[in-house]
Amino acid sequence: MKAILLKLLFEAVPAENPPSEEDNLGFQDPWPHPLTIDDVSAYSHGADPNAVFDPGDHPVVQTQFEALLKRRLSQDIAQHPPLFPWEQALQDYPDHLRSEADLTTLWLDHLRTLEVPANFPEEVLTELFGHCQRVARQTAQLGRQLVEAVEDLFPNQPQTLVYVAGLVARPNARSATTEAISSLDYTTASTQQQIALTMLAARSIFEALSLVVSPLTPSLTRTWTTTDGPLSVTASRLTDTLLEIRAELPAAGAVTLTGLSDTLHADRSSPGDLILQLTHPHPQTPYVLEVSLGQEMSPLRFQIVVEA
């Protein structure tokens, strides 16, 4: 291709009216030895005849074109950032994901105020809290809650777990015996004693996360301490067919109530109240209320039960 272009460039173009002899007077050819096709071939020896540029060439036009293309792509990406398949708009993500234990520590200020055994390890309390929140969504029976909340902490102890849970779940569990157990040092206690201490702590957590309303107790409130201020949740049995949930948030947040087939949600961008109303609640059926404060905090999960 290059040889053909050069040939067309240097070949003489036939003129319609050849110049006269007078026109040629005094004219001296500045190229006494004009290039021939053989010279071009020799000059381009080793080059690809189909290439416009030699492999080693890097013309200025190509450099400018690449710079312009990069600048255009950068502008397009800045104006229209690419999205993940699950996104409908640009979102911010944290630099790293918190573990479940890290998220649970956000509620530790209130956990420390609960009635838990003396000298109970904080790391065990943090892990236990995460288990209690998970179990509260599955069952409302205290004995089963206690077993499922601690079974990961004490594997391969099914009979001991069931036995101790039966003692701790009794209504008169706050006896002199349990008070004596709760005064034990967790680190030096036996395995069975550690199970009892852990279940006593789990019972306190479940009580702080549970709201049971009935004709005799139509309204109940739980208050949790947070770094932004107190968080209050009130469940009210307004009528036989109407349940109202009122959450007083110390900061921007959201609440979500989930049942067998019902899901209610509300959120706000500033501190204040959020109200959910559920018609015809199912009696004796645990509802889960998730309360979130900000984007960085894990939700606090309450269990709400309506008794007939």
Distance (Å) of CA 169 to CA 42, 101, 208: 101, 26, 15
| HEC per residue, the chain | CHHHHHHHHHCCCCCCCCCCHHHHCCCCCCCCCCCCHHHHHHHCCCCCCCCCCCCCCCCHHHHHHHHHHHHHHHHHHHHCCCCCCCCCCCCCCCCCCCCHHHHHHHHHHHHCCCCCCCCCCHHHHHHHHHHHHHHCCCCCCHHHHHHHHHCCCCCCCHHHHHHHHHHHCCCCCCCHHHHHHHCCCHHHCCHHHHHHHHHHHHHHHHHHCEEEECCCCCEEEEEEEECCEEEEEEEEEEECCEEEEEEEECCCEEEEEECCCCEEEEEECCCEEEEEEEECCCCCCCEEEEEEECCCCCCEEEEEEECC
Is the confidence at residue 267, as pLDDT, over 90?
A: yes
Q: How many Å is the Cα radius of gyration of the chain?
A: 40
Segment 27-53 mean pLDDT:
50
Phi, psi (5° rounding) for residue 270?
Answer: -150, 165
Residue pLDDT, tens place only, 197-245 = 999 999 999 999 999 999 999 999 999 988 788 999 999 999 989 999 9
Q: What percent of the chain has pLDDT over 70?
A: 69
Answer for the pair 151, 132: CB distance below 8 angstroms, yes or no.
no
Segment 166-175 mean pLDDT:
75
Q: Which residue has better confidence, 38 or 271? A: 271
In the chain, residues under CATH classification 2.60.40 are: 212-306
Nearest to 302 by CA among 261, 253, 250, 247: 247
Confidence at residue 9, expressed as pLDDT on a 0 to 100 scale? 45
CATH fold of 212-306: Immunoglobulin-like (2.60.40)
**What is the Cα–Cα distance from 306 to 130, expressed in whole angstroms?**
24
The tokens for 111 are: 């956990």
The tokens for 191 are: 């395995």
Task: Pick from 23-27, 37-41, 235-239, 295-299 the range whose average pLDDT is largest.
Answer: 235-239
Is the confidence at residue 276, as pLDDT, over 90?
A: yes
Question: Is residue 247 classed exposed, middle or buried when 0-12, 13-18 and 19+ CB atoms within 10 A define those classes?
Answer: buried
